Structure 1
Amino acid sequence: MSDDIDKLMAVMTAAFDPAYGEAWTRRQIEDALLLGSCDYALVGADGASPQGEALAAGFFLSRHAADECELLLLAVDPAQRRRGLGDALMHRFAAQARERGAKRLLLEMRAGNPAEALYHRHGFVHVGTRPAYYRGGEGSRIDARTYARELD
């Protein structure tokens, strides 16, 4: 698992803009995975799980509770975007959630996040807003938008 976390952290470093402070630390990832209610998946540039020394091009981290599964993080390396990897990760997220018995998927993102189009394509609808939840560059405040999707 340590190799997977190395791969995940490399994608996170490349993908998350430090101005928003959204990236997690390695310790936060390790602690989340120790809980047993969190799951993750990596994809390589070809959309399959990277094997051996192959680098990851994207990942997601999710948390399962009762009959819901929350997408905590999703990222694709900027050099690998626009190749369907976000879609591949969303399909895998939904599949893993179903395997865990989830009936509903949840996620939260900052307003203006370009991933919103991806989430809409995968059936997520806006269900709530947390005003001024995130801190943006230079101390500005940005709303958090909550989305949900029922699983079939």
Structure 2
Amino acid sequence: MSTTVNLVALRPGGAHDLALVNSIMQEAFDPRYGEAWTTPQCMGMLSLPGAWLTLAELNGEAAGFALARSAGPEAELLLLATRPASRGRGVGGALLRAVVEEARERRVLDLHLEVRAGNAAARLYQREGFTKVGERRGYYRGRNGQLFDGETFSRKIG
């Protein structure tokens, strides 16, 4: 009998990882919803104080990333993506817990995020202690101009 073990390894990322981040985003985000960021947008965010990037590997292969930023007692998870082939194998949860831990180390009190209404990732966020606190009507603009609502979630850290 063989056993498959999913080993998720996390590491801090930086600007030199943005080609990999872009590759993961292109696989992970459906373009009809307009959720993916451009490389210059990611670079701009990473250049700001308080921003951090975490990369995940699954069994030695690039599997996902999370981009977040903190400002004073609050932080925001800006992007979290996992390659479709890595979903359901603990990558998203590991990345989210790493963001929570980094926020805690930065003495953040509240961690916020926003997700497209209907995105299955909302279940992960709720399992990890996030509560829906609001909605943003027409927050996402898809490739064809169609608007999609966003849902805001929050979690107490400290």
The two structures have a TM-score, normalised by structure 1, of 0.89
The answer to whether 1:129 aligns with 2:142 is no
Alignment of 1:23-42 (within 5 A): 23-42=36-55
Corresponding position of 2:27: 14
Greater strand fraction, Structure 1 or Structure 2: 2
Q: What is the distance in 2 between the residues matched to 1:96 and 1:76?
A: 19
The total of aligned residue pairs comes to 145
> Any conservation in 1 of the 2:31–2:142 contact (CA below 8 Å)?
no
Q: What is the SS of the residue equivalent to 2:65?
A: strand
Q: What is the distance in 2 between the residues matched to 1:64 and 1:106?
A: 10
> Any conservation in 2 of the 1:7–1:55 contact (CA below 8 Å)?
no
> Any conservation in 1 of the 2:15–2:46 contact (CA below 8 Å)?
no
The answer to whether 1:144 aligns with 2:150 is yes
> Any conservation in 2 of the 1:8–1:56 contact (CA below 8 Å)?
no
Q: What is the distance in 2 between the residues matched to 1:3 and 1:80?
A: 22
Letter of the structure 2 residue corresponding to residue 34 of structure 1: S
Identify the match of residue 80 of structure 2 among 52, 57, 74: 74
* Gap runs ≥5 in structure 2: 1-13
CA 4–139 in structure 1, closer or farther in 2 if over 3 Å, else same: closer
Superposition deviation, residue 135 in structure 1 = 2.4
Letter of the structure 2 residue corresponding to residue 66 of structure 1: G
Superposed structure 1 runs of 4+ greater than 4 Å apart: none
Q: What is the distance in 2 between the residues matched to 1:61 and 1:7?
A: 13
Corresponding position of 2:126: 120
Q: What is the SS of the residue equivalent to 1:113?
A: coil
Q: What is the distance in 1 between the residues matched to 2:43 and 2:142?
A: 26
Q: What is the distance in 2 between the residues matched to 1:121 and 1:107?
A: 14
Q: What is the distance in 2 between the residues matched to 1:81 and 1:6?
A: 21
* Gap runs ≥5 in structure 1: 47-53
Q: Which 10-residue stretch deviates more, 84-93 or 138-147?
A: 138-147
Letter of the structure 1 residue corresponding to residue 103 of structure 2: A
Superposition deviation, residue 141 in structure 1 = 2.4
The two structures have a TM-score, normalised by structure 2, of 0.85
CA 44–111 in structure 1, closer or farther in 2 if over 3 Å, else same: same
**Identical pairs, percent:** 46
